[in-house]
Structure 1
């Protein structure tokens, strides 16, 4: 019998409200805000 080690189909991470998802350093605040805004559509439900 096999060892049950099939290919990974997807990853899941449970994030509690109030946790920091992204942290940026070394870029102007406006650029960081634009980057977060652009990426927010990738994480929205």
Structure 2
């Protein structure tokens, strides 16, 4: 959760800038942690 807190201001700034550039409207913003594991398992022959 610390990483999200550290990057919150920068992410908000980037999002706001792009929304203005595109003339878009933000309907909702959500934060979540995503963990991806890539396990390499050898094939048994």
TM-score normalised over the length of structure 1 = 0.30
Structure having greater relative contact order (Cα 8 Å, sep ≥ 6): 2
Return the index of the structure with the highest Cα Rg: 2
Please state which structure has a larger fraction of its residues in helix.
2
TM-score normalised over the length of structure 2 = 0.30
